[in-house]
Structure 1
Amino acid sequence: MSRRNLESDSPCPVARSLDLVGDRWSLLILRDAFDGVRRFGDFQRSLGVARNILTDRLRKLVDADILQLHAASDGTAYQEYVLTPKGESLFPILVALRQWGEQHLYQRGERHSQLLDNRTGKPVPLMRLHGSDGAVLAATDTRVRKLA
């Protein structure tokens, strides 16, 4: 059985999620989609990815109902890739990756892009996982119940 089949059939939500959106190009396509990129050529220019790889990843994201193809908003013959509600629900994943990168991959004072709150113009605060009682949870405060 191939790696892909093992993950697609896995009882682990992390493995199934990674099977669908866990490769570099899919995550960068999603990043760009959240930044407003809609057209194939714009994704290609932004990412510098080969056409065949971009075509494959976009098709996979459309087939998974993460992106949808729509007629171009400007009335041209182009089609645009638009995030679905399922795709939009991936936003916290991209924010978590961004914030981890900001904390661990930049030197103090090193410049990088920032995610800003449109209402305040301020950087988005660090995401925290909270329990049902509102307390912040660390990894040691959680466990996974494995299937028997």
Structure 2
Amino acid sequence: MKRAGPTDTGCPVLRSLKHVGEAWSILILRDALAGATRFDEFQRNLEIAPNILTNRLKSLVESGLMEKRRYCERPPRDEYHLTQRGRDFRAVVQALLTWGNQHLAPEGESVVIVNKETGEQAEPVMIDRRSGKPLSDPVFTNAAGPAANERIRRRYPSMNQFPQHREADR
């Protein structure tokens, strides 16, 4: 029997991919973050087959990333709006955009992030709110969190293995 994909091990990356790890879903979210709400907008912008778009929108609604709102009864028509979970995906889209520009755009940047108030191009970097350091700094690593199962604990060190956390436990 063929497996439908990796088994859910509690890994947050895997769980995220199960909801948005398909190109059409990410592109629909990208367009929704830019303001698209209607089926025909998504279809026109993405040049996606209607049956695929229908399935992806349904999946995004079921995953809690979008919600469907009726805007016309005759004929029945719906809009698709981002939920908070969907709006929180903005940072992921921006990270993909930045990474793609940096590593996969030999012709140059086709889309950039711009500050609407100053017109200046942003230079995105993910930072730790507590220290202000970029997450790319080698001081950061992954660790098993409080809800980690045994499989995750085997792969990652415990938070308790790091100096500051050990001192806080005393």
State the TM-score, normalized to the length of structure 2. 0.74
State the 1:121 CA deviation: 2.2
1:116 to 114, 117, 133: 114
User: For residue 153 of structure 2, what is the amino acid of its counterpart?
Assistant: L
Matching residue of 2:132: 134
Q: Which runs of 5+ in 2 are unaligned?
A: 144-151, 155-170
State the 1:65 CA deviation: 1.2
SS of residue matched to 1:147? helix
SS of residue matched to 2:94? helix
Between the aligned partners of 2:78 and 2:97, the Cα distance in structure 1 is 29
Deviant stretches of 4+, over 6 Å: none
RMSD of the alignment, in Å? 2.4
2:45 equivalent to 1:39 = no
After TM superposition, the structure 1 stretch with the greater mean CA deviation from structure 2, 110-119 or 40-49, is 110-119
Between the aligned partners of 2:115 and 2:96, the Cα distance in structure 1 is 17
**5 Å matches for 1:1-148?**
2-4=3-5, 6=7, 9-72=8-71, 77-107=76-106, 110=108, 112-130=110-128, 132-138=130-136, 140-145=138-143, 146-148=152-154
Identity value in percent: 34
Aligned pair count? Answer: 144
